[in-house]
A and B are shown apart, each in its own frame.
Chain A
Amino acid sequence: MAKVFLYPTTSLILSDLVARFGHSPLSAALQIRERIQTPGLESPPLQITPEEPKKGLKWAAVEVPSGVRGRMSLYGPMIDEAEAAIIINNADFSFGCMGCARTNELIKYLVRKRDIPVLDLEYPRNEEEGVEFVAAIKRFLDALHGGSA
């Protein structure tokens, strides 16, 4: 069973797929609701304090905005821990969404820089692409050591 980092980390669907195929998802799964009443699209379910942006200094320098560093304090350890990663590019908001484009760029870079298997996929736009999308994820997960499917 491999620890698989997911991007977007908020995607419940991805998280579920990874678990179904016998691996351990590294994600901050928070369901995006139909109506948004929180400050951001992937508002954290936990209390972040001003200490978190300081912890984020491990992944982003002090001149990087505090919001990026605060996010990295959550996602940075997940990336460090990951044994594989799935990146979905240009996903729909409802699939899973991360609010800050700069953090997203940094996350993808840090994942790709690590010497781990990475599946880079475009978000499907129709049913046909959707079927191939799931199949590609399944193939990737099966190829990882210890996959159960």
Chain B
Amino acid sequence: MTRVRIAQLSCGPEYSGVQKEIDEAAAAVDAEIFFPDIKLADIRRSFDMFGLDVRSPDLKLAIARAKALVEGRVEADAVFIATCFRCAEAAIVRNELRRYIHENSRLPVVSYSFTERTTSGTLLTRMEALTTIARRRALLAREVQQGLTMGVDSGSSTTKAVVMRDNQIIGTGWLPTTAVLQSADEAVTQALSAAGVTRDELQAIGTTGYGRFLVGEHLKADLIQEELTVNSKGAVFLAGTQAGPSTVIDIGGMDNKAISVQDGIPGTFTMGGICAGASGRFLEMTAKRLGVDITELGPLAMKGLSRKVPMNSYCIVFGTQSLVNALAAGSSPEDVAAAACHSVAEQVFEQQLQEVDIKDPVIMVGGTSLIQGLVRAMEELLQTKILVPHHSQYIGAVGSALLASGFIKGE
């Protein structure tokens, strides 16, 4: 497959001035946005059959186009659903169409609510994930790592490297991201040293994360892939749940990912976060303010009660203010730590998890999954037991190393 065809179902992007940004993001990953071609008569018929009585004609058009895709009257490789941010009617349609397409077809779907400030850069990773799922379904179906490979996850907060041999992790490296290449080199050195192998022995390398292109070029990687598909793969591999449905939650340093996975391949996903207040960064700030290491924040939160401290970290600045106020009013560090965890979990729950279908097992990954207080808060909100696999902080690097083995010569 060369050019991936992404069907756009939308309301408002042209009048918001962002259609060009959507087109550019798609073009950057060698994909093409198109609008399913349907008749006016199809709008009336499909809309009536779908049964969601919305008033906006463009939303009716989106519904009719979704039905045309699901019924196979129009062919596409993936679907992008976009509507205006803050439009309640559009939000209902966006969610229902995403669910409808996910449940009734094999088409990967991503939905997004834009403002006039949305840029192609914001959309790039989502488009890349859509095209990866469409283009590399066979690669994503890989369940076993073979040979000697390395994966590097150049994240916004930390850089991770993992060396794998014959389906086993034999070396890891981890450090905070400073200079992107320098951090990657250091993580690689750590992982190679722990594995007891040299760079030359590696049969394939994969990179992911924010710095994936830069680091990938630097390391001459065989596979450079966005973190949505890679993390899904790494999560189900480590959790031992490669077959069937699962939900992956990754609360990252800069943004969060919630992914509905089927047989290791993302079906629908959301990525982003309204503010750093709903990310791992806020927990880092909380730990710093409490004078503890980030690794101690989880155990501390487990001893506290979040309901004792009112906190809403919708904005990182106001969240920090709540934190300072609570401490000044005499709240215990344990309760403050628990409240911070609850606040982050609650925002991810309210803003992102509503856009994916939560199916057990729920797997939490990334560095923040090691903060037990955060996992507990999420369990309480989801009313389910969450799986945190061993090595969950290396998820992207593991997924990368696993998928990179598909590039070993002769594979």
Nearest Cβ distance between residue B397 and chain A, in whole angstroms?
A: 37
User: Does the CB pair A67–B84 fall under 8 Å?
Assistant: yes
User: Which residue among B12, B35, B114 has the maximum number of chain A CB atoms within 10 Å of its CB?
Assistant: B12
Interface string of A97-116 (1 = CB under 8 A from B): 11111100000000000000
What is the total number of residues of chain A having a CB less than 8 Å from a CB of chain B? 36
The stretch from A37-45, A118-126, A139-147 touching chain B is: A37-45
Interface string of A70-102 (1 = CB under 8 A from B): 110010000000000000000001100111111
Nearest Cβ distance between residue A41 and chain B, in whole angstroms?
A: 5
Contact of B45 with A by CB under 8 A: no
User: Does the CB pair A41–B58 fall under 8 Å?
Assistant: yes
Contact of B278 with A by CB under 8 A: no
User: Which residue among B14, B83, B114 has the maximum number of chain A CB atoms within 10 Å of its CB?
Assistant: B14
User: Does the CB pair B37–A54 fall under 8 Å?
Assistant: no
User: Does the CB pair A48–B57 fall under 8 Å?
Assistant: no
Task: Decide yes or no: A65 and B90 within 8 Å by CB, A36-B40, A39-B14, A93-B43 being known contacts.
Answer: yes
Interface string of B18-37 (1 = CB under 8 A from A): 11000000000000000101
Per a CB cutoff under 8 Å, which of A36, A38, A48, A54 touches B15?
Answer: A48
Q: For A40, list chain B residues within 8 Å (CB).
A: 10-12, 14-15, 58, 61
Q: For A54, list chain B residues within 8 Å (CB).
A: 116
Per a CB cutoff under 8 Å, which of B13, B37, B86 touches A35?
Answer: B37
Q: A51 CA to B83 CA in the complex, in Å?
A: 18
Q: For B40, list chain A residues within 8 Å (CB).
A: 32, 34, 36, 93-94
User: Does the CB pair A41–B115 fall under 8 Å?
Assistant: no
User: Does the CB pair A98–B57 fall under 8 Å?
Assistant: yes
Q: For B83, list chain A residues within 8 Å (CB).
A: 67
Q: For A97, list chain B residues within 8 Å (CB).
A: 57
User: Does the CB pair A64–B61 fall under 8 Å?
Assistant: no
Give A74's nearest chain B residue, CB to CB: B15
Contact of B409 with A by CB under 8 A: no
Q: A63 CA to B115 CA in the complex, in Å?
A: 10
Contact of B85 with A by CB under 8 A: yes
User: Does the CB pair A48–B14 fall under 8 Å?
Assistant: yes
The B218-261 residues at the A interface (CB cut-off 8 A) are none
Q: For B18, list chain A residues within 8 Å (CB).
A: 50, 66
Task: Decide yes or no: A39 and B16 within 8 Å by CB, A32-B40, A99-B58 being known contacts.
Answer: no
Task: Decide yes or no: A50 and B11 within 8 Å by CB, A37-B37, A70-B16, A99-B57 being known contacts.
Answer: no
Give B10's nearest chain A residue, CB to CB: A39
User: Which residue among A36, A64, A71 has the maximum number of chain B CB atoms within 10 Å of its CB?
Assistant: A36
User: Does the CB pair A52–B15 fall under 8 Å?
Assistant: yes
Task: Decide yes or no: A67 and B37 within 8 Å by CB, A50-B116, A99-B57 being known contacts.
Answer: no
Contact of A12 with B by CB under 8 A: no
A-B contact pairs, 24 of them (CB 8 A): A34-B39, A35-B38, A36-B43, A40-B10, A41-B61, A48-B15, A48-B16, A48-B17, A50-B117, A53-B115, A66-B16, A66-B84, A66-B116, A67-B87, A68-B87, A70-B14, A70-B15, A70-B16, A70-B116, A71-B15, A93-B57, A100-B57, A101-B89, A102-B87
What residues make up the interface of B, taking CB atoms closer than 8 Å to A?
Answer: 8, 10-19, 35, 37-40, 43-44, 54-59, 61, 83-87, 89-90, 114-117
What residues make up the interface of A, taking CB atoms closer than 8 Å to B?
Answer: 32, 34-41, 43-44, 48-54, 63-71, 74, 93-94, 97-102
